[in-house]
Amino acid sequence: MQYRKLGRTGVEVSTQCLGAMMFGDVGNPDHDECERMVHRALDAGINFIDTADMYSAGESEQFVGRAIKGHRDEVVLATKFWFPMGEERNRRGGSRRWIVQAVEDSLRRLGTDHIDLYQMHRRAWDTDLEETLDALTDLVRQGKVLYLGTSSYPADQIVEAQWAAQRRGTARFVCEQPQYSIFARSIEEFTLPAARRHGMGVIPWSPLAGGWLTGKYRRGEQAPAGSRFSGTSHPAWERRAVDVEPNSPVRYDAVERLTKIAENAGLSLTHLALGFVAEHPAVTSTIIGPKTMEQLDDLLAAADVRLDSAALDAIDEVVPPGTDIAGIEHGSGNPALSPENRRRSVVDRLSATA
């Protein structure tokens, strides 16, 4: 396992980050196995763990908290907030009211007195950015949070947040967590360069494109039972990518071509995909999200994979740099993309011509 500085913080994190989205009811409800996976990751040299309050409605944080008991000082612990945590309308988003409650809830579930990296899971478009930064800065000053991060922020919002922090003298976001894989490369054009310019760490999620880049989904074959895109185990928001193109011909074509590239490189498709993400100079640590110990062992074996120029050039022929394959959903939630903001309504048009 290798280690890199998390942006300009001086904190060193492993180049693989153990993602805990699969810990709990949504993925693996067996607490004992999840705890063993955490300990196996720590033994392999991983010192970076990422979770979120909304993963299995808080159960993931509970699992992680129990697993790192006695190892807290060894772990750079990251979690996230923003998604709804119940039906009550104010238990979500980026308001000061919710942030001060959300952090206390996460601290309790994690069984710790501080969070190393506290990340905003999505941009709160309906909330003043300064309100969010002021509230998060108070948490830093109180010692409840050490560093701040974002997830799935568009490049312009990354820049705006950096400017706002400088303008108001608040703590700044030191890390971005974007979706990045061979299938999802559009962030190469603006997001990754923006993060580098501002000295931010980058910890990509979904480097295996929801399992597509393991080769488990094959043309003409039923998706494995319980897999993410089987249509039985995960909520609709996780299956939107295949809903766009139900038969996903472009995806199957890409998997077949990438499998040949992996074979030529002497690698499995999984290891090729992880190696690809790790090769980008902006990437600090790649989030791996195993559901079983077998998956974890396979992912750990890719920690030191390096791809040569021939493999990288061949990948570029399948999915060109700066582009996404059909059906990728980055989920920024930007209201500018809503129908009412893309075009003038019928009433507006009639009024303009009256």
Of 76-80, 277-281, 315-319, 332-336, least confident by mean pLDDT is 332-336
Q: Which parts of the chain are beta strand (E)?
A: 3-5, 12-14, 16-19, 48-50, 76-81, 115-120, 145-151, 173-177, 201-202, 286-288
Mean pLDDT of the chain: 92
153 part of the active site: no
Residue 353 has what pLDDT? 59
Residue 354 has what pLDDT? 56
Residue 23 has what pLDDT? 98
Calpha distance 246→42 (Å, rounded): 39
CATH no. of 3-353: 3.20.20.100
Asked if residue 327 has pLDDT above 60, the reply is: yes
Higher pLDDT, 235 or 344: 344
Q: Where are the domains of the chain?
A: 3-353
Residue 229 has what pLDDT? 61
3-state secondary structure 40-93: HHHHCCCCEEECCCCHHHHHHHHHHHHHCCCCHHHCEEEEEECCCCCCCCCCCC
Residue 339 has what pLDDT? 80
265-320, pLDDT tens digit by residue?
A: 999 999 999 999 999 999 999 999 999 999 999 999 999 999 999 999 999 999 99
The active-site residue out of 3, 55, 153, 252 is 55
Of 60-64, 220-224, 310-314, least confident by mean pLDDT is 220-224
Asked if residue 2 has pLDDT above 60, the reply is: yes
